[in-house]
A and B are shown apart, each in its own frame.
Chain A
Amino acid sequence: MPDYAWPDAQHRTLIGARVTRVDAPVKVSGQAKYTYDVHRPGMLYGKVLRSPYAHAKVVSIDTSAAEKMPGVKAIHIVQGPGSTIHWAGDDIVAVAAVDEPTAEDAVRAIKVKFQQLPHLVSDAEPPKGSAQEEGPLSIDAIDDMLDNQVPANQMVSTIQRDGLIKKASDEDLNMLKADGATDAVLEAIRSATLHPEASAKPPSNYQKAAAQTVGDPDKAFAEADAVSEGMYGIPVITHCCLESHGSISEWTDHEHLFTHISTQNVSGIPGQMAEPLKIPATNIRVHQDNIGGGFGSKFSPDRWGIFTAEVSRKAGGKPVRIMLERDTELKVAGARPSAYARVKVAAKNDGTLVAWQSSSWGTGGPGGGGMPPIPYVFRVPNQRQEHTAIRNNIGPARAWRAPNHPQAAVLTMCALDDLAAKLNLDPVEFFGRNLNLTQQREHTYREELSIASELMGWKQKWHPRGQNASGDTARGVGLSFHTWGGRGHASDCDLTIHPDGSVELKMGSQDLGTGTRTCILMVAADTLGIPMDAIQLQIGDTTYPPSGGSGGSTTIGGVTSSTRRASVDARDAVFAKVAPALNVQSDQLECVNGKVMVKGDSSRFLSWKEACSKLAVMPVTMRGKNPDKNKPPDLTNSGVGGVQMAEVEVDTDTGIVKVKKMVAVQDCGLVIDLKTAESQCHGALIMGISYSLFEEKVMDPVTGRMLNADMEFYRLAGLNDIPELVVHMMTGKGYDERGVIGLGEPPVISPGAAISNAVANAIGVRVPFLPLTPDRVLTALEQKAGA
């Protein structure tokens, strides 16, 4: 059995080194092509008529004037009369024309009558008694879920939990199927419990989830030495991808589609487009070279990806380009759900945590949304949680880099930090005392906490709350902990060695800008003993072996595992041909420095080229897979911990917060490329500073529209807002042997809590909600002064 295991530190040439990303030159020189840059011959431009209302029914659509306009090539009604619209900016009619102005004119010439319905765009604390318990569903309610793009698995569990008011007719099922219900959803409807006695749930914006209790929280609170109560929260923010969502689709014949799409999920797109387009997935080719940001919002072709293809079909197959405009991108292409909570938490005098109670709420748009995993990281022995999901009309939520974790970190770490302050304990000491509650990550957290404290200079910088101010400047430090899974996803690749020594590797993966290309090449080159630039890597196309979507920090573990297995097998195929020439058994050979040589005898070797020439005329191609039980060991793993610290300076007259320094200490098992790993953390810290200080989806209560769907008032941190960033990756013994684990998500989880805690430490009072804007900071200071 070949040895697929990761080589140990003495036998690696590239893995674990600090390697500059291979796509840096094409990106910094502007040569890298993104979907947004694709221009196909004869391409038409698509534009979309969108709902100006947050909640409305489509009454009628008149496209006759637009149809007569010269240059208009296709008009496609996306949501026809009778459809209910649940957010402003939702797609109604798509148009393709010879140029953008003509398409815009055509959109303006279409007359749509809407009947406005009452909307809710607030995610303020639910009024008392407003939340309703679960109840059986109507077919309409299920159809609404489809309209609202509620994920299929969530729909299935809701249907299984709540049951139906009446049996679904074949007509109902066909209608739901036409509206996009998956087979699993239809099956859940068929087998749902029926409650004919119940009447349909009256529509409510507030849905209470069942309360959860662990241990005996009442007793624990009663016996605790200190109890801290507070309110904490983190708003809805948008993904704000710098390359907006969209695609360019064309029909190469009447049943074959070719689409360029900005996606995190190249291999997974055909399967999602096949059914709505009524063609086999085999007939859909997807291509993407580079992507300008996804952050969890680009796994699906989206409704606009489907109708771009439909519009192209109506236009005789001509390429049609629909990329979202900036405002639409911010309005409809994804948002991170909000989370707010009233938290009560208790400890003994020495800081030992004993009880947690939270009443939380938040919105993920029309779908409502779930409770973040609180208390986070620290498994407090006695707990009670209740949560109310707010269904409203702000637009749909999507996975945002570490779904639910940044929310959980803010709600938990801020509440615990307030408790530490109440006990007059240094947070490092307080959290350190409770690390046993983190269970399997305890040792890692302990090491990371100590390294982070050292790198921050915590001992010198930490003062009790509000006691490090001079004049109108207050300084403070704060910290937070986080965790994530990150096991490698399913990944296939083909590695081919040609008789002339050239090597190519094909994989249907994508590089989100995280260094995926670089890491694949490092693993293959390290295994074959040849330079990275001697390998031609092809990714981003469905003609290559399928590899999973890049989400959940699963890519690095998946692609490096499949690459390692393919590389070992292909190398061994060369060894089998070379062994007779060097007169040894093939297991006595190794690849080092461009040579295939006899282990322990550097005088007996063939150059890589000579060795490959032994393949005669036929290249050798090996398929690598992950997971692959037949080719042990498991090369990837799950579960990481991280500690972050922030240092801030607050102008107490203006409420302006400046982050002065961030420290991130992070493990992720075996690090393939130390440099791009550190880059991931840098990027996460920048994104974290941005959402801590600036980002917020601002909705107008009267019109129901998003007001800051631009990059003036949807603020992102700029260069001058980014301080010294210190990143330390945990490597070596205890980490390397765990295998490769994902890193994309974990470092973005803690900045919100760490920065909020630093601000509380600086000004002596909690600013309850992110972002930490001047108005909020000043309000907190006034309340402190008044208290």
Chain B
Amino acid sequence: MRPFEYLSPNTRTQAISLLGSTWGSSEILAGGTDLLALMKDDILAPKRLINIKDIKDLRGVSSDPQGIRLGALTTLGDLADDESVKKNYPALAEALGEAASPQIRNLATLGGNLCQRPRCWYFRNGLGLLPIDEAGKELVSEGENRYHAILGNEGPAKFVSPSTIVPILVAYGAKIRLQGLNGKRELPLERFYVTPKKEGEREHDLRPNEMVTEVMVPAATNVKAAHYEIRQKAAFDWPLALAGVALKMRDSKVESARIVLGYVAPVPWPSPEAEKALVGQPINKETAQKAAAAALANAKPLSHNAYKVKLARVAVTRAIMKAASGGAA
């Protein structure tokens, strides 16, 4: 790890004023479970670390009839154990509880999870986020892409978006709040994620001098939601595919649906096609499979990841069925 300057402000304004105007010069340190590993591997070498753990108002959960506010500095473990999260957003609680390991959940924060860098093994080996060799060959397309994107992979970005909790948050309709030098802004969580087109661009719409402050999730009354993750190992493993689903029912039919896939594309992948296929239908294995097929209709697997198309379909099908049968509730 290279030497760096360490600063520990007490307020959001102080923290923001310490952030630089370009990527790479400074980084925000919260749980450190991703950042410190990237620094040890010399993938990132910020000159300045801004510890935000002393900024009290970034931490904690509060709710009202409109919804729930999740502070960016709250740990995944605390969120998973939060009574109101468990009661009102059980599918989110489940996704949180399945993330990483207990040790990591006790340190990792919500904001850090949302800003986590991709797990792509080319990126983590220092070969870049959109890796090419000296001759300009795309390493992912030519190489070992078994865990890479099957959707949204037309451009140079082939990695998959790493958060396992974002898909269900997006399905619940979460919004992310950011604060920067020019004030605050709020945007739908799915809009926070962008697909980089050039090396050096980041996969978030976070500006270098901004920080994530909180996530707002609207009330989920009468919502049937579920999170379904396909992992090789029973625990502490990155998924091969996952889906988050939130359904509103009228009588026995779907009135509206949010279906979001994870680990299939460089961004969390909401599927309007699947939602359209499901609205107005009763839920059974057949309708769920049709929605899943619609979600993956445009999938373009790389040389070694065609199996992920099948896995993603299964994840969507099972998430829908799980939501319909009461989900994690």
Interface residue ranges, A against B (CB under 8 Å) = 101, 104-105, 327, 653-656, 658, 693-694, 698-703, 705, 707-710, 712-713, 715, 717-721, 773-775, 778-779
Contact = CB atoms under 8 A, between A and B. Distances in A.
A56 to B, nearest CB: 13
Given A702-B142, A702-B143, A774-B311, A656 B137 contact: no
A774 B240 contact: yes
A720 B314 contact: no
A715 B232 contact: yes
B2 interface: yes
A694 B133 contact: no
17 contacts: A101-B1, A104-B1, A653-B314, A658-B234, A693-B232, A701-B142, A701-B144, A702-B139, A703-B127, A703-B139, A707-B143, A707-B144, A710-B124, A721-B234, A774-B240, A774-B307, A778-B310
Contacts of B233: 694, 715, 717-718, 720-721
B41 to A, nearest CB: 8
Contacts of A773: 232
A713 B307 contact: no
B86 interface: no
A700 B146 CA distance: 12
A700 B144 contact: yes
Given A710-B124, A774-B232, A715 B142 contact: no
A775 B143 CA distance: 16
B46 to A, nearest CB: 15
B194 interface: no
B237 A715 contact: yes
Interface centre among B232, B305, B314 (most CB of A within 10 A): B232
Contacts of B297: none
Nearest to A772: B232
Contacts of A775: 146, 304-305, 307
Given A718-B235, A773-B232, A713 B121 contact: yes
Contacts of B2: 101, 104-105
Contacts of B232: 656, 693-694, 715, 773-774
A115 to B, nearest CB: 13
Contacts of B192: none
Interface of B: 1-3, 41, 119, 121-122, 124-125, 127, 133, 137, 139, 142-144, 146-147, 230-238, 240, 304-305, 307, 310-311, 314
A27 to B, nearest CB: 20
A354 to B, nearest CB: 38
A452 B164 CA distance: 42
A671 B237 CA distance: 38
6 closest Cβ contacts across the A-B interface? A720-B234, A775-B307, A707-B121, A720-B235, A653-B314, A700-B143
Contacts of A105: 2
Contacts of B124: 710, 712
A718 B103 CA distance: 14
Contacts of B1: 101, 104
Given A656-B232, A700-B144, A715-B232, A707 B125 contact: yes
A707 B236 contact: no
Contacts of A715: 232-233, 237
A105 B41 CA distance: 14
A647 to B, nearest CB: 16
Nearest to B142: A702
A655 B307 contact: yes
Contacts of B236: 718
Contacts of B238: 712-713
B125 A654 contact: no
B309 to A, nearest CB: 10
Given A694-B232, A703-B133, A712 B119 contact: yes
Nearest to A698: B144
Contacts of A656: 230-232
Nearest to B137: A702
Contacts of A710: 124
Contacts of B310: 653, 778
A655 B121 CA distance: 23
A101 to B, nearest CB: 6
A775 B147 CA distance: 10
A708 B120 CA distance: 10
Interface centre among A101, A694, A698, A702 (most CB of B within 10 A): A702
A562 B313 CA distance: 63
Contacts of B125: 705, 707, 709
Nearest to A690: B233
A653 B313 CA distance: 10
A715 B125 CA distance: 17
Contacts of B122: 700, 707
B307 A778 contact: yes
A693 B237 CA distance: 13
Given A101-B1, A707-B122, A719 B143 contact: no
A654 B311 contact: yes
B121 A708 contact: yes
Interface centre among A653, A707, A720, A721 (most CB of B within 10 A): A707
A147 to B, nearest CB: 25
A36 B24 CA distance: 33
A500 to B, nearest CB: 48
B268 to A, nearest CB: 20
A715 B230 CA distance: 15
A411 to B, nearest CB: 24
A364 to B, nearest CB: 21
Given A702-B137, A713-B147, A718-B237, 17 more contacts: A653-B314, A655-B311, A656-B231, A701-B143, A703-B143, A705-B125, A707-B122, A708-B121, A712-B119, A713-B238, A715-B237, A720-B233, A720-B234, A721-B233, A774-B240, A775-B304, A778-B307
A762 to B, nearest CB: 17
Nearest to B141: A702
A688 to B, nearest CB: 16
Nearest to A716: B233
A489 to B, nearest CB: 37
Contacts of A653: 310, 314
B139 A700 contact: yes
A286 to B, nearest CB: 30
A101 B3 contact: yes
Contacts of B146: 775
B143 A654 contact: no
Contacts of B240: 774
Contacts of B142: 701-702
B306 to A, nearest CB: 8
Contacts of B304: 775
Nearest to B231: A656
Given A101-B1, A707-B122, A775-B146, A702 B133 contact: yes
A709 B122 CA distance: 11
Contacts of A707: 121-122, 125, 143-144
A715 B304 CA distance: 19
Nearest to A52: B126
A100 to B, nearest CB: 8
A656 B142 CA distance: 26
A406 to B, nearest CB: 20
Contacts of A713: 119, 121, 147, 238
A440 B143 CA distance: 49
Interface centre among A101, A104, A710 (most CB of B within 10 A): A710
B3 A654 contact: no
Nearest to A777: B307
A775 B304 CA distance: 9
A52 to B, nearest CB: 9
A774 B304 CA distance: 12
Contacts of A327: 41
B235 A719 contact: yes
B102 to A, nearest CB: 11
A694 B238 CA distance: 13
Nearest to B236: A718
Nearest to A693: B232
Contacts of B133: 702-703
A364 B1 CA distance: 33
